[in-house]
């Protein structure tokens, strides 16, 4: 395959050398600490990268949509849907996954559990259930041990499902690595109160699943954790670098763009805008930075225009020059692209369709 220089822009690039190092690093960490690694595939939505994760030692995959489950069932026989499956069509598709695939679902409500159990019975399957806990994220999940015990009890006694354990997501702990230990210790204590209550009720959780990318490297400090589900760290991005979850050299995703205008003083316009990078506020000003010049910030985005701030630099690219942009948040940039162009250095080595974009 040719160099990525021949690609039309904007184009999503994945640096395979970096991906492989990122996967090895987390696989080693999980092995050393006796944690199962179940990467969240919502970050990349591609079967090929899911397969690399499984080959690197993932014990299964995590998905957030049924389409992701359908795509990842081709590369893993152990799928956790970390999202409540509500609705007849979603349930029907979930239960239609190949029969060799072990399905587990995270949920926080008895209505969802009942619908899932009914669909599972109709399909002649048993689906694992993880009770979703809210350890401070305030998005989904049960807030008290009593609520968790009550739902676990229903799960344990309802045909069609089996209670497997608990899950939580610590998306709110998105802070510099130095500030993490205190926050995670507090969280660990909260988690212990849930686990103790479940044990006391005769429902010891076989699975205690957590572990976002920002908290990843402190996962071993969480008492009783059995499984981590980092997604973003396969590719990393500007946000994860800002908080120190990875080095800049571990950023494996960028958007290749072409300089299209230099008419307005102090700025350079590239052809990667909100429709290629996503205009999502991040942990630092702007919407991304250049991979090769991280001091150059994407100060604003229109739909197809990215505005590079060059007011504090002598660097003056010319129309037609190319740059690579690392966006604030890789997970919302990837599904804007039909495919990922996989490179080693400048050399194209593969093209991966983002098969699981959409629903």
125 binds a copy of itself (CB under 8 A): no
Q: Give the full edge-to-edge strand order of the sheet including 36-37.
A: 36-37, 227-228, 207-210, 161-167, 127-132, 102-107, 78-81, 61-63
Q: Which stretch binds a copy of itself (CB under 8 A): 122-130, 193-201, 218-226, 252-260?
A: 252-260
The answer to whether 277 and 325 have CB atoms below 8 angstroms apart is yes
Applying CB under 8 A, does 341 fall inside the site for a copy of itself?
no
Could you tell me the smallest distance in angstroms from the CB atom of residue 33 to a copy of itself? 27
Q: Is the CB of 17 or the CB of 281 nearer to a copy of itself? A: 281
- In this structure, are residues 111 and 158 in contact, taking their beta carbons and an 8 Å threshold? no
Looking at 15-23, 53-61, 94-102, 331-339, which segment touches a copy of itself (CB under 8 A)? 331-339
Phi and psi at 142, nearest 5°, equal -90, 145
Q: Is 70 in the site for a copy of itself (CB under 8 A)?
A: no
Q: Other C-beta atoms within 10 Å of 307: how many?
A: 21
User: Pairing between strand 36-37 and 227-228?
Assistant: parallel
Binding part of the chain for a copy of itself, among 3-11, 23-31, 119-127, 344-352 by CB under 8 A, reads 3-11
Count of chain residues binding a copy of itself (CB under 8 A): 64
In the DSSP assignment, the letter for residue 233 is G
Least distance in Å: CB of 319 to a copy of itself? 5
Question: At residue 189, what are phi and psi to the nearest 5 degrees?
Answer: -65, -40
Burial (CB count within 10 angstroms: exposed 0-12, middle 13-18, buried 19+), residue 212: buried
Give residues 17-56 in contact with a copy of itself (rule: CB under 8 A): 42
Tell me which residues in 293-312 interact with a copy of itself (CB under 8 A): 302-305, 307
Q: Is residue 79 at the binding interface for a copy of itself, with CB under 8 A as the rule?
A: no
Q: Is 288 in the site for a copy of itself (CB under 8 A)?
A: no
């Amino acid at each position: 395959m040719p160099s990525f220089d021949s690609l039309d822009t904007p184009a999503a690039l994945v640096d395979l050398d970096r991906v492989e190092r990122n996967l090895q690093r987390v696989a080693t960490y999980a092995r050393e600490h006796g944690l199962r690694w179940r990467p969240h595939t919502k970050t990349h939505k591609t079967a090929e990268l899911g397969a690399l994760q499984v080959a690197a030692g993932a014990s299964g995959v995590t998905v957030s949509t049924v389409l992701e489950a359908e795509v990842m069932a081709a590369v893993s026989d152990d799928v956790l849907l970390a999202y409540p499956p509500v609705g007849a069509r979603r349930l029907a598709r979930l239960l239609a996954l190949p029969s060799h695939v072990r399905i587990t679902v995270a949920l926080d409500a008895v209505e969802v559990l009942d619908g899932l159990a009914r669909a599972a019975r109709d399909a002649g399957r048993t689906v694992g259930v993880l009770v979703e806990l809210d350890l401070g994220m305030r998005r989904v999940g049960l807030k008290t041990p009593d609520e968790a015990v009550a739902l676990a009890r229903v799960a344990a006694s309802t045909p069609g499902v089996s209670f497997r354990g608990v899950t939580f997501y610590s998306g709110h702990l998105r802070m510099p690595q130095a500030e993490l230990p205190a926050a995670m210790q507090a969280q660990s204590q909260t988690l212990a109160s849930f686990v103790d209550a479940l044990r006391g009720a005769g429902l010891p959780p076989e699975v205690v699943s957590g572990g976002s990318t920002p908290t990843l490297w402190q996962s071993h400090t969480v008492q009783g954790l059995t499984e981590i589900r980092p997604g973003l760290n396969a590719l990393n991005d500007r946000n994860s670098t800002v908080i120190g979850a990875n080095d800049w050299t571990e950023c494996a995703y960028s958007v290749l763009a072409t300089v299209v205008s230099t008419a307005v003083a102090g700025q350079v316009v590239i052809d990667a805008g909100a429709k290629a990078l996503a205009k999502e506020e991040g942990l630092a000003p702007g919407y991304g930075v250049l991979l090769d010049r991280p001091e150059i910030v994407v100060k604003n985005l229109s739909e197809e225009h990215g505005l590079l701030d060059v007011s504090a630099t002598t660097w003056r690219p010319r129309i037609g020059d190319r740059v690579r942009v690392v966006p604030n948040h890789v997970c919302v940039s990837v599904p804007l692209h039909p495919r990922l162009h996989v490179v080693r250095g400048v050399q194209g080595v593969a093209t991966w369709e983002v098969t699981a974009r959409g629903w």
